[in-house]
Amino acid sequence: MSELIHTCYRILDIDRSVDFYERLGFEELSRMAIRDEATNVFMGLPGDGARLELTYNHGREEPYELGGGYGHIAVTADDLDATLENLATQGIEPEKSPYRVREGGSRICFVRDPDGYRIELIERGEG
């Protein structure tokens, strides 16, 4: 059977991006050079493997166009309010306050990484 193994983002600054994802609870699992062209940094949540590949193309200085088709990745939070308080102390603010898409559904909100990619935070448990 097939399984989704990772998502790849192209980034402009390895340290800045790794720092951001570590603040969300990810761990850097490995780095791999792609000849002299690029470096891939593999990140994952504890115990879940390398689900996020951050690709740094050497010499690129211009931001990437995210495109109209890209949406977001989603991660869970046991306590969304506590997660947002912790992120705020590190300079990471949500796009808007947590909300529910439907009555009885989980509370969600979005943050953006340093390159503008959206990350949905979904509170676990309710919906």
Q: Which one is catalytic: 85, 120, 123, 126?
A: 120
Sorted by where each starts, the structural domains of the chain and their CATH numbers stand as 1-59 (3.10.180.10), 71-127 (3.10.180.10)
How many Å apart are CA 63 and CA 71, to the nearest integer?
17
- 120 is a catalytic site residue: yes
pLDDT at 127: 45
Asked if 116 contacts 71 with a C-beta cutoff of 8 angstroms, the reply is no
**Per-residue confidence of the chain (127 residues) as pLDDT tens digits?**
667 788 999 999 999 999 999 999 999 999 999 999 999 999 999 999 999 999 999 999 999 988 888 889 999 999 999 999 999 999 999 999 999 988 888 999 999 999 999 999 999 875 4
What's the pLDDT tens digit per position in 99-114? 998 888 899 999 999 9
Closest CA to 118 of 9, 6, 28: 9
Number of H helices, E strands in the chain: 2, 8
pLDDT at 2 (0 to 100): 64
pTM for the model stands at: 0.85
